[in-house]
Amino acid sequence: MSWSDETITELTKLWDAGFSTSEIGRRIGVSKNAVVGKAHRLGLISRPSPIKRIPLPPPPKMVAIGGRACSWPIGDPRKPDFRFCNSPAMAGKPYCQEHAAVAYVAPKSRNTSTEDAA
Protein backbone atom coordinates (compact mmCIF):
# COMPACT_ATOMS: atom_id res chain seq x y z
CA MET A 1 0.00 0.00 0.00
CA SER A 2 1.34 3.38 -0.98
CA TRP A 3 0.14 6.31 1.10
CA SER A 4 -0.33 9.48 -0.91
CA ASP A 5 -0.24 12.95 0.60
CA GLU A 6 -4.00 13.12 -0.01
CA THR A 7 -4.80 9.89 1.91
CA ILE A 8 -2.45 10.88 4.76
CA THR A 9 -4.22 14.24 5.02
CA GLU A 10 -7.63 12.51 5.02
CA LEU A 11 -6.48 9.97 7.63
CA THR A 12 -5.21 12.78 9.88
CA LYS A 13 -8.43 14.78 9.46
CA LEU A 14 -10.65 11.77 10.26
CA TRP A 15 -8.39 10.74 13.16
CA ASP A 16 -8.62 14.21 14.70
CA ALA A 17 -12.41 14.16 14.20
CA GLY A 18 -12.55 11.02 16.38
CA PHE A 19 -13.67 8.45 13.80
CA SER A 20 -12.95 4.80 14.59
CA THR A 21 -10.07 3.10 12.81
CA SER A 22 -12.55 0.85 11.00
CA GLU A 23 -14.54 3.82 9.75
CA ILE A 24 -11.41 5.67 8.63
CA GLY A 25 -10.31 2.55 6.75
CA ARG A 26 -13.67 2.27 5.01
CA ARG A 27 -13.59 5.93 3.99
CA ILE A 28 -10.09 5.88 2.53
CA GLY A 29 -10.16 2.31 1.21
CA VAL A 30 -7.65 0.56 3.48
CA SER A 31 -7.85 -1.94 6.33
CA LYS A 32 -8.29 -0.96 9.95
CA ASN A 33 -4.83 -2.34 10.69
CA ALA A 34 -3.31 -0.19 7.94
CA VAL A 35 -4.90 2.86 9.58
CA VAL A 36 -3.55 1.90 13.01
CA GLY A 37 -0.06 1.30 11.64
CA LYS A 38 0.07 4.55 9.66
CA ALA A 39 -1.34 6.58 12.57
CA HIS A 40 1.39 5.12 14.78
CA ARG A 41 4.12 5.88 12.23
CA LEU A 42 2.80 9.43 11.83
CA GLY A 43 2.90 9.88 15.60
CA LEU A 44 -0.78 10.77 15.85
CA ILE A 45 -2.07 11.13 19.39
CA SER A 46 -3.28 7.74 20.58
CA ARG A 47 -6.83 7.44 21.80
CA PRO A 48 -8.24 5.23 24.53
CA SER A 49 -9.60 1.89 23.44
CA PRO A 50 -13.37 1.81 22.94
CA ILE A 51 -13.31 -1.63 24.54
CA LYS A 52 -12.51 -0.89 28.15
CA ARG A 53 -13.07 -3.32 30.96
CA ILE A 54 -14.84 -1.84 33.93
CA PRO A 55 -12.68 -2.53 36.98
CA LEU A 56 -14.48 -4.17 39.87
CA PRO A 57 -14.31 -2.41 43.20
CA PRO A 58 -12.34 -4.19 45.94
CA PRO A 59 -14.41 -6.35 48.29
CA PRO A 60 -15.58 -4.69 51.50
CA LYS A 61 -12.76 -4.59 54.09
CA MET A 62 -14.91 -5.74 57.06
CA VAL A 63 -15.85 -9.06 55.39
CA ALA A 64 -13.68 -12.10 55.91
CA ILE A 65 -14.66 -14.54 53.16
CA GLY A 66 -14.31 -18.13 54.26
CA GLY A 67 -14.45 -17.17 57.92
CA ARG A 68 -17.34 -17.68 60.30
CA ALA A 69 -19.59 -15.22 58.46
CA CYS A 70 -21.93 -16.08 55.59
CA SER A 71 -20.25 -15.25 52.28
CA TRP A 72 -23.43 -15.18 50.18
CA PRO A 73 -23.06 -12.22 47.76
CA ILE A 74 -25.81 -9.60 47.79
CA GLY A 75 -26.15 -7.09 44.96
CA ASP A 76 -24.05 -6.21 41.94
CA PRO A 77 -20.28 -6.43 42.57
CA ARG A 78 -19.75 -3.40 40.32
CA LYS A 79 -21.85 -1.16 42.54
CA PRO A 80 -20.81 0.42 45.84
CA ASP A 81 -23.67 -1.15 47.82
CA PHE A 82 -22.44 -4.69 47.05
CA ARG A 83 -21.94 -6.75 50.19
CA PHE A 84 -22.00 -10.24 51.63
CA CYS A 85 -24.72 -11.59 53.93
CA ASN A 86 -22.32 -11.67 56.90
CA SER A 87 -24.77 -13.61 59.14
CA PRO A 88 -23.24 -16.39 61.25
CA ALA A 89 -22.23 -19.27 58.97
CA MET A 90 -23.20 -22.87 59.63
CA ALA A 91 -20.45 -25.13 60.97
CA GLY A 92 -18.31 -26.33 58.08
CA LYS A 93 -20.24 -24.25 55.52
CA PRO A 94 -19.53 -20.83 54.00
CA TYR A 95 -23.20 -19.82 54.26
CA CYS A 96 -25.80 -19.15 56.94
CA GLN A 97 -28.72 -21.55 57.29
CA GLU A 98 -30.96 -19.53 54.94
CA HIS A 99 -28.42 -19.31 52.12
CA ALA A 100 -27.17 -22.89 52.60
CA ALA A 101 -30.75 -24.04 51.93
CA VAL A 102 -30.56 -22.29 48.55
CA ALA A 103 -27.00 -23.32 47.71
CA TYR A 104 -27.20 -26.97 48.70
CA VAL A 105 -30.26 -28.46 47.05
CA ALA A 106 -30.42 -32.24 47.11
CA PRO A 107 -31.08 -33.78 43.69
CA LYS A 108 -34.49 -35.36 43.26
CA SER A 109 -34.31 -39.08 43.82
CA ARG A 110 -35.36 -41.34 40.98
CA ASN A 111 -38.39 -43.38 41.84
CA THR A 112 -37.81 -46.86 40.45
CA SER A 113 -41.03 -48.35 41.71
CA THR A 114 -43.14 -50.41 39.31
CA GLU A 115 -46.20 -48.18 39.72
CA ASP A 116 -44.47 -45.39 37.77
CA ALA A 117 -43.74 -47.75 34.89
CA ALA A 118 -47.42 -48.37 34.16
Give the model confidence (pLDDT) of 33-71 as tens digits: 999 999 999 999 887 776 666 676 666 657 455 458 999
Task: Answer whether residue 89 is part of any domain.
Answer: yes
| pLDDT above 70: percentage of residues in the chain | 76
Which domain range does residue 61 map to? 56-104
Task: Answer whether residue 18 is part of any domain.
Answer: yes
Same structural domain for residues 65 and 89?
yes
Task: Answer whether residue 22 is part of any domain.
Answer: yes
The reported pLDDT for the residue numbered 14 is: 95
Assign residue 18 a region (left: φ > 0; alpha: ψ between -120 and 50; beta: otherwise).
left
Per-residue pLDDT tens digits for 67-91: 589 999 999 888 889 999 999 999 8
Q: Which helix (H) or strand (E) holds 34?
A: helix 32-42
Please state, in angstroms and rounded to a whole number, the distance separating the CA atoms of residues 36 and 25: 9
Same structural domain for residues 92 and 70?
yes
Same structural domain for residues 33 and 65?
no
Task: Answer whether residue 113 is part of any domain.
Answer: no
Count the domains in the chain: 2
Task: Answer whether residue 34 is part of any domain.
Answer: yes
